[in-house]
Structure 1
Amino acid sequence: MDTAPAVAPLPDHLSTAQVAKLLGIKRETVYAYVSRGLLPRVTIPGRRGSWFRSDQVEALQRNASRPVHSGLAERIRTRITLLTDDAQYYRGLDVRELADTRSFPEVCALLWESGAVHIPVVAENSQPSADPMMRPIDVIRAALGLDAARQTVRGDLSRDGVVRTAGEHIGAAVAALPLLGRPLGRRKHQLDPVTAGLWPRLTRQRADPHRLAVLRAALVLLADHELAASTTAARVAASVRTDISGVMLAALGAMDSPLHGGAPATARRLLQEAVRDPDAVISTHLAENRRPAGFGHLVYREQDPRAEHLLAGIRVLPGIDAHLRSVSTRLVDEWRTRRGWFPNTDFALALFAEATQQRDGAGEAVFTIARLAGWTAHALEEYQEEPMRFRLHAVYVGPRPGDR
């Protein structure tokens, strides 16, 4: 069985797991192809496991007597994010290292393959008339729509135009959220504009280097996650050549759902219940064998690397409530040990929100602001593909003409 590579794989080579997924076959069948001489296997210095040249895999796929892919998703080639062996990479770089060393605008530049990215965030409230009781994602959606309407040039699909507009939209989304605390001095805290602008809009709690570092890491870690539902919506919009404003608004429609962008809020309610009665929450989910909100993942098998990274920073935050930290640790330990349920980023955002007394919907806001970066990267990539490729054909199962 293949093990995790020592470093991120090369873009022109595929792992055994990737070949199996692309061809719609089992790993054992991949090795059978190797033994029969149909698919050469190569070794790469510094990388463990078997690797295969992507052009040779594609040739095997073309020469197959029947289609071996299982759907459109397997034909969406991307150079943005790799998910493999419970690890995640942006353009070949481990996201955990990026979370420790890069600012959010720097990660935007990496994802967008651009030079320095300008994200203007005003310190004061840019929309003082915004209802402070509005959900953050609704504020963000309204801000993007208004900012798009103000654009003097629409429909610019050039890389420079997309990067410029995306940066302006991210800044507008942050600035539209009502201020709860005093604006932060960026020079004093040595912060990028997004982290500095977002913190006082999430909580009234005092900013310190540890809390700000967790927020910056969350923005970096959540910037992209391959073909999540909202990202797929973004690519569909981009495939019909919607400009970046429309792409973001299309993705927001899928993001605003309890199973996607709203999941941190559900996990936070679970955490709040557990703080009041941890025994009841733990035993109920175990007895019903019902996976709790904020645990498990469709992609990862044993751990969510983003969540593990965030939780390590959150648990050592200065001033974190001891009971909250104890309960959160107990939830993770008991459910992982007894059912194999591991925490995901929804739980990490929920714990961060509780530990720093963030407003309702704060986790959703952080998630959405971060993912604006990924949607932009996928839009830029989709603009290079043939348009209209997401026009699918349905299998009709309704009444036929003449049946009634």
Structure 2
Amino acid sequence: MASSLPRLTAAQVAARLGVKPQTVYAYVSRGLLRRERDARGSTFDALEVEAFAGARRRTAPAAVHPTSGMPLAVVHTDIADIEDGELLYRGRRARDLTDRPFAEVVEWLWDAERVDAPDPAIGSAREMVAALPPHAGAMDRLRAALTGFAADDPLRHDASSATLHRIGWTLLTGLPVALDGDPHGDIARSLVSAWRAPADEATVAAVNAALILLIDHDLAVSTFAARVAASARADGYAAVSAALGAADSPLHISAAARTARLFARVRRGLEPERALAEALQDGNGIPGFGHPLYPGIDDRADALFSFVERLPDGEATMDAARRLSDVVADRTRLRPNVDLALAALASGARLPDDAASTIFVVGRLAGWIAHIRAEYAEQAMRLRPRGEYVGR
């Protein structure tokens, strides 16, 4: 059956891969890419190009200094690790923790008892969110709430574990309420209520599992941004703000929103190939598929799909996820990542599309705080690299 995906020109392929058009034809001559030629010239299969781009990312060596040959950045961490395709937190499988409340897992990870956000701070954060225009997105609301919490905390500038943990608990317990959720001891339930969705047990359990699975993941760019700010002894709110800035990018947490839009199109009845064609137009790859740290399916996605199946609309949601995955797998070797599982969660629980980004940030916040604390224990300004002038 002929593909309904639009074909890419050599120039479009070159732009997608970040190479010159001549290099694209070199790939063709080496049998790495296939082309078809007609009256318009050479064209390429969009999904095949995406698979090739993903393979190049997985096999590319780590960036190194051009003269010393040393990696440009290696930061020791005892928080998360990925071994044999499994995500571990301090040596424990992350998926084995998903039956525990998110706050309980955070208490264990931080070794710090929970302290709920004070009402005045929540009020300040809610006012900041309320001042946003109606079209503001999830990341806009999160940044506004963060600013409100920071402005209300005159004691935030102490770079100590005690102050940092207080800030962390303020954000974890206060953000769902600032985003219009109901106060509740269960952070996942409070967050679900912010979307005015039915807080059935399956939905709360799925959101709780997602929060836990997203706590930390190697040294993502947002986590490194938080550590750089902490290296300069930024307070907890400022370091989290730096992480949010790095997270709000098409190759990080914003990819969750792209995946949610792709998945919503499939759920509305659009054929998976046509939905993929629309998603590929922005040139940032296939959202929801592939991750360089996993040889197969993303461990977090695999764990989260089992919760999605139990959602009110879980059966139809998983059917859409399988149809989309089959199309991608048939044309590439890419497997689902956590963004697809988050999109399926939002769809199956009838949450808004941007719920995926909010869940991602709230879960990762726990990891950011853990990394900020670790950086406070290191020598200040150690993450300020020295520039090497290469201009004329």
Per-residue CA deviation, residues 284-342 of structure 1 (Å, 9 max, x unaligned), is 59x99x952110012212121101111121023234463x4322112223423542211
Q: Verify the 8 A CA contact 2:102 2:208 in the aligned structure 1.
A: yes
Which of 96, 110, 113 pairs up with 1:112? 110
What residue is the counterpart of 1:94 in the other structure? 93
Q: Compared with structure 1, are the counterparts of its residues 386 and 195 closer, same or farther at alpha carbon in structure 2 (3 Å cutoff)? A: same
1:172 offset after TM fit, Å? 2.7
133, 136, 148: which one pairs with 1:134? 136
Question: Does the 8 Å CA contact 2:272/2:327 hold for their aligned counterparts?
Answer: no
Distance 1:284 1:147, change over 3 A: closer
Residue 103 of structure 1, aligned match among 97, 101, 113: 101
> Within 5 A, what are the aligned runs for 1:23-38?
none
Q: Secondary structure at the match of 1:72?
A: coil
- What are the within-5 Å matches in structure 2 for residues 16-27 of structure 1? none
Counterpart in the other structure of 1:80: 79
The one-letter code matched in structure 2 to 1:266 is R
8 Å contact from structure 2 (residues 211, 363) kept in 1: yes
Letter of the 2:361 counterpart: T
Aligned AA for 1:167? W
What is the distance in 2 between the residues matched to 1:106 and 1:253? 28
The one-letter code sitting in structure 2 at the alignment partner of 1:292 is I
Q: After the TM superposition, which residues 181-200 of structure 1 pair with which residues of structure 2 at under 5 Å, given as runs?
A: 183=182, 186=184, 192-200=185-193
Q: Which amino acid aligns with 1:170?
A: L
Counterpart of 2:11 in structure 1 is none
Q: CA deviation at 1:93?
A: 0.9
1:380 and 1:363 mapped to 2: Cα distance?
Answer: 26
Task: Give yes or no for contact 1:273–1:281 (8 Å, CA) kept in 2.
Answer: no
Which is further off, 300-309 or 328-337?
328-337
Name the amino acid aligned to 2:176. V
TM-superposed CA distance for 1:278, in Å, is: 2.2
CA distance in 2, matches of 1:168, 1:121: 7
Shift of 1:395: 3.0
In structure 1, what is the equivalent of residue 156 of structure 2?
154
Aligned pairs (5 A) from 1:301-316: 301-316=295-310
Instruction: Determine helix, strand or coil for the equivalent of 1:153.
Output: coil
CA contact 1:235–1:247 (8 Å) conserved in 2: yes
Contact 1:139/1:176 (CA < 8 Å) preserved in 2? Answer: no
Q: Given the alignment, which residue of 372, 382, 385 partners 1:379?
A: 372
Query: Who is 1:237 aligned against?
Result: 229
Residue 348 (structure 1) shift: 0.9
Query: Aligned residue for 2:384?
Result: 391
Deviation at 1:201, TM superposition (A): 1.2
Determine helix, strand or coil for the equivalent of 1:293: coil
Q: Are 1:251 and 2:243 an aligned pair? A: yes
The two structures have a TM-score, normalised by structure 2, of 0.74
Identity among equivalent positions (%) equals: 35
Structure 1 counterpart of 2:15: none
Aligned counterparts of 2:349 and 2:312: Cα–Cα separation in 1: 10
Q: Which runs of no fewer than 5 residues in structure 1 stay unpaired?
A: 1-65, 187-191, 400-404
**Residue identity matched to 1:109:** E
Q: Which amino acid aligns with 1:156?
A: D
**Counterpart AA for 1:71:** L
CA distance in 2, matches of 1:212, 1:121: 24
Once the two structures are TM-superposed, the CA of residue 226 in structure 1 deviates from its matched residue by 2.1
Computed over aligned residues only, the root mean square deviation of the Cα atoms, in angstroms, reads 2.8
Shift in alpha-carbon separation, 1:321–1:143, aligned structure 2, 3 A: same
Q: Which amino acid aligns with 2:170?
A: E
Q: Deviations over 1:366-393 (max 9, x none)?
A: 1111111111000110111111111212
AA of the residue aligned to 1:211: T
Contact 1:121 1:174 in 2 (8 A): no
Partners of 1:262 and 1:283 in 2: CA distance:
17
Instruction: Tell me whether 102-111 or 340-349 shows the greater mean CA deviation.
Output: 102-111
Per-residue Cα deviation, 1:43-69 (whole angstroms, up to 9, x for no partner): xxxxxxxxxxxxxxxxxxxxxxx9674
Matches within 5 A, 1:319-398: 319-320=313-314, 322=316, 324-336=317-329, 338-398=331-391
CA distance in 2, matches of 1:340, 1:282: 19
Whether the 8 Å CA contact 2:215–2:365 is kept in 1: the answer is: yes
Give, in angstroms, the shift of residue 165 of structure 1.
1.6
Gaps of 5+ in 2: 1-66
Partners of 2:265 and 2:275 within 8 A in 1: no
- With over 3 angstroms needed to count, the CA separation of the structure-2 counterparts of 1:229 and 1:69, relative to structure 1, is same
| Count of paired positions | 318
CA gap 1:193/1:316 in 2 versus in 1, 3 angstroms:
closer
Equivalent-residue separation in structure 2 for 1:336 and 1:342 (angstroms): 7
1:294 to 288, 292, 296: 288
Residue 266 of structure 1: how far off its partner (Å): 0.5
Q: 1:291 to 1:248 in 2, by over 3 A?
A: closer
Residue 226 of structure 1 is aligned with which of 218, 238, 241? 218
Is this contact kept in 2: 1:130–1:139, CA < 8 A? no
Amino acid in the other structure paired with 2:212 = V
Residue identity opposite 1:117 in structure 2:
R
